[in-house]
Amino acid sequence: MKKNTVSAAGGRKTLLSVILAVVSIIYVLPVLAVVINSFKQNTFVKTDTFALPTGEMSAGFDNFIKGMTFGNYPFAKSVMYSVVITLLSTFLILLCTSMAAWYIARVDSAFCRAVYFLCVFSMVVPFQMVMFTLSKTADKLHLNTPWTIPIVYLGFGAGLAIFMFVGFVKAIPLEIEEAASIDGCGPVRTFFTVVVPMLKPTMISVGILEIMWVWNDYLLPVLVLDINEYRTIPIHIQYLKGSYGTVDLGATMALILMSIIPVIIFYLACQKHIIKGVAAGAVKG
């Protein structure tokens, strides 16, 4: 290879790196704007959005303190409900759909195929189609609390999870389970001690998709839960603006910052799994 073409290509690559670095900085500016404005006095957020919170503009940590009780609802409570709903729903979905998916893949009866078909079908149905009837049904069955709404999430989210699990179970050779059964393992023990460990990578992918969905979901909880009592973080933030009168933008930004910091930490900590999970979920077709 000629030497000068190599260095020309290298130069082009360095230039590309520089351009992408600039774009990356622009990319994080919206998050920086949130940080800056969460330390700013409310009146300056609108007039000097992109100025640093210095001098008279600075609000110190007032916005954060104010934000904790802002909107007539304690922020800590909405964090707690978001955490409870997300963890319970994800756990329930992983447990129940992996069991059902294994059964569907292994038994393979006409009934199983019908359930599988319904699951795939449910993936193309937009939430608006069922939102009114679903919220009424959930109300009637008293599924309108943070401890029972995971059942609704399991019901509406089962399709994608089962679809992903079935695809993976079908790729596992039957011999391992046969060996377990010859050794005297019943189906329940085979599933939990032999199949579940093999499903772990898919569990992580599905789990991450479910966490991202439930944590950020607004419409389902706002329709199902009693919002005077229970608000998740997205509901809380939406209702800051929904309440009449002027909104304290500084305090809103402080709340938004507090709600995205854990998400960003979670992302940086399990970036590899998240990107893999998202890529796996996207190919659902």
Partner 1 sequence: MKNKKNTNSNSITKATRRWGFLFMGPVLIAFTIGFIWPFIQGIWLSMCQFRLISDAKFIGFANYVKVFQDASFRHAFWYTAMFAIVSLVIINVLAFMVAYFLTLEIKGSNLFRTVFFMPNLIGGIVLGYIWSMIFDGILGRYQTSILLESKYGFWGLIILMCWQQVGYMMIIYIAGLQNVPGDILEAARIDGATSLQTLFKVTIPNVMSSFTICIFLSLTNGFKLFDQNLALTGGQPFVIQPGGATIKTTEMLALNIYNTFYSSNTTSQGVAQAKAVIFFILVAGLGLLQLGYTRKKEVQQ
CB of 15 to partner 1, least distance (A): 9
**Segment near partner 1 (CB under 8 A); pick from 57-65, 72-80, 199-207, 268-276:** 268-276
Question: Counting contacts by CB under 8 A, is residue 67 touching partner 1?
Answer: no
For partner 1, the binding residues in 29-58 under the rule CB under 8 A are 30-31, 33-34, 37, 45-47, 49-50
Does 278 bind partner 1 (CB under 8 A)? Our answer is yes
Q: Does 206 bind partner 1 (CB under 8 A)?
A: no
Q: Is the dihedral of CA 85, 91, 97, 103 positive or negative?
A: negative
User: Is residue 260 a contact point for partner 1 (CB under 8 A)?
Assistant: yes
Stretch that binds partner 1, among 55-63, 70-78, 196-204, 271-279 (CB under 8 A): 271-279
- Contact call for residue 118 and partner 1 (CB under 8 A): yes
Q: How many Å apart are CA 176 and CA 127, to the nearest integer?
A: 39
| CB atoms inside a 10 Å sphere around CB 276 | 15
19 or 65: CB nearest partner 1: 19
Cβ 165 vs Cβ 206: under 8 Å: yes
Burial 188-201 (b: 16+ CB within 10 A, else e): eebbeebbbebbee
Asked if 79 is part of the footprint of partner 1 (rule: CB under 8 A), the reply reads: no
Please check whether residue 267 is in contact with residue 194, taking contact to mean a CB–CB distance below 8 angstroms.
no
Q: Which neighbouring-strand residues pair with 40? A: 58
Which 87-116 positions form the footprint of partner 1 (CB under 8 A)? Answer: 96-97, 99-100, 102-104, 106-107, 109, 115
The residue within the footprint of partner 1, chosen from 53, 146, 221, 234 (CB under 8 A), is 234
The residues near 15 (Cβ < 8 Å, ≥ 6 apart) are none
Calpha distance 70→39 (Å, rounded): 16
63: contact with partner 1 by CB under 8 A: no
Q: How many residues bind partner 1 (CB under 8 A)?
A: 100
Binding mask 167-186 for partner 1 (x = CB under 8 A): -------x--xx--xx---x
Stretch that binds partner 1, among 55-63, 65-73, 196-204, 230-238 (CB under 8 A): 230-238
Minimum Å gap between C-beta 29 and partner 1 is 8
72 binds partner 1 (CB under 8 A): no
| C-alpha dihedral sign at 259, 93, 282, 138 | negative
Alpha-helix runs per DSSP H in 70-195: 75-107, 110-123, 127-140, 149-169, 175-182, 187-189
Between vectors from CA 8 to CA 4 and to CA 12, what angle results, nearest 5°?
170
Q: Which is nearer to partner 1, 200 or 272 (CB)?
A: 272
